[in-house]
Amino acid sequence: MRLLLLGAPGSGKGTIAKMLVKEYGAVQISTGDILRSAVSAGTAIGKQAETYMKKGDLVPDEVILGIMEERLKEADCAAGFVLDGFPRTIPQAEALKAMLGRLGISLQAACNLDVSEEVIIRRITGRRTCVNPQCQAIYNLEGRAPKKDGVCDKCGSALAQRDDEKEDVVRNRLSTYGAKTAPLIGFYESEGLLMTVSGDESKLLFEEILRRLKG
Ligand code: AMP
């Protein structure tokens, strides 16, 4: 499987990527997760990325492309990959095409998750993450709430709302998505790779993707 997931923040890319990886034995590559680890570790890339991430702005293309160029060369990608959160701009999509061309790999599909904005805002602002760096379990106040308010079921640490999950930042992330990332839908349509699935439940979207990939 060599797939990329397009969709607004909160459309369920991470959740669906995990389901696909489990089904197909591929690796999930999430630029958001890579950047968050770099921020926690205090690396040079993390320091560069942090200011953009806190505001809900995109990290500059050069930083992301440097990360992805290295990541796609790693051995585990040979079993296939699901890209989650990359590319997010037309220059990133063009660069990905060139990178994959150099590696002799072709994409199977760009899967666009079409989820309503109302669901997205509720989902992101209700998300709470375990502050323990070794755990980082994710909950949602609607649907997947912790047993005890504000406490992680798995390790007992506190739960917190990420800075970029607060409502004003979420609104900025959504407008950035509309301006910079939504044009990728047209890009992949003209590449003949676009697959759009619509709905508000990740499980149903996942089943629809499987049906279309297998069909
Ligand atoms: P995510 O978890 O995918 O929503 O990413 C969290 C944040 O990381 C985004 O709001 C951006 O600031 C940054 N980020 C992640 N992936 C990219 C990317 N491909 N290009 C630019 N910035 C990114």
List average pLDDT for each run of 10 residues in the chain, which is 215 residues long. 94 94 94 93 95 93 95 93 97 96 93 93 91 91 91 97 88 93 98 96 95 89
Give the β-pairing of 138-140 and 127-130.
Answer: antiparallel
Kind plus residue range of the DSSP H or E element containing 207: helix 202-214
Packing angle of the helix pair 61-71, 31-41 (nearest 10 deg): 100
Torsion of CA 110, 34, 205, 18, to 10 degrees: 120
Buried b (16+ CB within 10 A) or exposed e, 70-98: ebbeeeebeebbbbbbbbbbeebbebbee
Cα(176) to centroid of ligand 1, in Å?
A: 11
Q: Ligand 1 pocket, 12 CB below 6 A? A: no
pLDDT at 162: 87
Q: Ligand 1 pocket, 56 CB below 6 A? A: yes
Give catalytic status of residue 173 as yes or no.
Answer: yes
Q: Ligand 1 pocket, 52 CB below 6 A? A: yes
Q: Which pair of tokens denotes residue 3?
A: 């797939």
Give catalytic status of residue 36 as yes or no.
Answer: no
Q: Ligand 1 pocket, 130 CB below 6 A? A: no
pLDDT at 167: 86
Cα(190) to centroid of ligand 1, in Å?
A: 24
Kind plus residue range of the DSSP H or E element containing 188: helix 183-190
Cα(182) to centroid of ligand 1, in Å?
A: 14
Q: Whose CA is nearest to atom 12 of ligand 1?
A: 53
Q: Ligand 1 pocket, 152 CB below 6 A? A: no
pLDDT at 26: 94
CA-closest candidate to residue 200, choices 192, 189, 208, 211: 208
pLDDT at 177: 95
Cα(148) to centroid of ligand 1, in Å?
A: 30
Alpha-carbon distance of 64 to 160, in angstroms, equals: 26
pTM of the model: 0.89
